[in-house]
């Protein structure tokens, strides 16, 4: 079954309009879902929508409401919300172009694939894609998705274009409040060499297929063992991780890490070359008598 587009509309650049479709570039990973159970009876707990003094209500009688004061709401139905006029519901206007390194990774939120909607849109789509690739720029615009308007970026992605939703500035917590108490000091050169050698040892090409959710695997194993009636051992307490280790401990830990099999020795800096002693002048030859 073909995937359904997440959004259909057009990308507009000045007077050029490109019909496109957008598809989610990610999917939810494996998860373990738990239900709440009433332990004495083993029955699942259910939730009902109730109104105080009225009791359970029919879902058709429920509408959205915005609280303007305590106990007072402005009621809105789906038709009224859908009628809100916003051009970005169907059109992504490209209003700015920036260098990709100008956007802090903190602002990126969720990726989507963008493809031309039909054969007639392909030519303009390819022109936009290659123009972005040649200029090494990222296109910026705004788009309405999931009931809210997002800042979005567009960049080339193979034969297609990658769209990423961006966070607004007030959604990003500034780092200064967390980092200001970290001292602005330089590390010990020897420890720095050891740390860089350890990084070099563990450097490899990123392959996401090598990683998986070990917690989900452990939960599945736990559920399987318990379903077979096996006794589950639980650890109580446990030794807390040591904190505040001193510089000597850090140096020892780095050296021990480097000494493991297959580790590369840290590069040693070449000693400065000694200056050559100035050549002695030859003694003048004696004249024969």
In tens, the pLDDT along 25-47 reads 988 777 888 889 988 998 999 88
CB hemisphere CA count around 110 (13 angstroms) = 12
Last residue of a domain, one of 171, 201, 223: 171
The yes-or-no verdict on residue 189 having pLDDT over 70 is: yes
The answer to whether position 179 is within a domain reads no
Q: What is the pLDDT of residue 244?
A: 52
Alpha-carbon Rg for the chain in angstroms? 32
Based on the domain organization, do 21 and 105 belong to the same domain?
yes
What are the tokens at 232? 């589950």
The structural domain count of the chain equals 2
The answer to whether position 227 is within a domain reads no
Chain mean pLDDT for the chain: 83
Query: What domain range includes position 45?
Result: 38-82
The yes-or-no verdict on residue 207 having pLDDT over 70 is: yes
The yes-or-no verdict on residue 140 having pLDDT over 90 is: yes
For the full predicted model, state whether its pTM sits above 0.85: no
Of 199 and 265, more confident:
199
The answer to whether position 148 is within a domain reads yes
Answer positive or negative: Cα dihedral of 256, 258, 259, 265. Answer: negative
The yes-or-no verdict on residue 2 having pLDDT over 80 is: no
**48-59: pLDDT as tens digits:** 888 888 888 888
Based on the domain organization, do 91 and 106 belong to the same domain?
yes
The answer to whether position 216 is within a domain reads no
What mean pLDDT do residues 186-199 have?
Answer: 87
Based on the domain organization, do 63 and 159 belong to the same domain?
no
Share of the chain above pLDDT 70, in %: 83
């Amino acid at each position: 079954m073909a995937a359904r587009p997440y959004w259909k509309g057009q990308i507009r650049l000045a007077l050029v309009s490109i019909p496109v479709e957008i598809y989610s570039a990610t999917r939810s990973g494996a998860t373990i879902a738990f239900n709440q159970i009433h332990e004495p009876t083993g029955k699942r707990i259910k939730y009902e929508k109730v109104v105080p003094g009225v009791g359970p209500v029919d879902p058709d009688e429920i509408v959205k409401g915005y609280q303007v004061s305590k106990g007072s709401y402005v009621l809105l139905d789906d038709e009224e919300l859908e009628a809100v006029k916003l051009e970005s519901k169907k059109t992504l206007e490209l209003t700015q172009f920036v260098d990709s390194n100008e956007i802090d990774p903190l602002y990126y939120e969720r990726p989507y694939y963008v493809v031309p909607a039909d054969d007639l849109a392909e030519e303009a789509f390819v022109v936009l894609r290659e123009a972005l690739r040649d200029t090494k720029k990222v296109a910026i615009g705004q788009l309405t998705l999931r009931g809210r308007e997002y800042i979005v970026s567009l960049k080339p992605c193979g034969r297609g274009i990658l769209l990423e939703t961006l966070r607004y500035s007030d959604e990003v917590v500034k780092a200064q409040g967390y980092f200001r108490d970290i001292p602005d000091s330089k590390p010990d050169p020897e420890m720095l060499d050891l740390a860089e050698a350890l990084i070099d040892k563990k450097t490899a090409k990123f392959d996401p297929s090598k990683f998986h959710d070990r917690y989900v695997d452990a939960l599945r194993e736990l559920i399987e063992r318990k379903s077979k009636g096996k006794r589950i051992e639980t650890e109580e307490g446990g030794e807390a991780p040591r904190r505040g280790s001193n510089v000597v401990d850090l140096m020892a830990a780095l050296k021990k890490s480097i000494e493991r099999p297959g580790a590369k020795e840290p590069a040693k800096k070449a000693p400065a070359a000694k200056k050559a002693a100035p050549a002695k002048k030859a003694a003048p030859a004696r004249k024969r008598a």
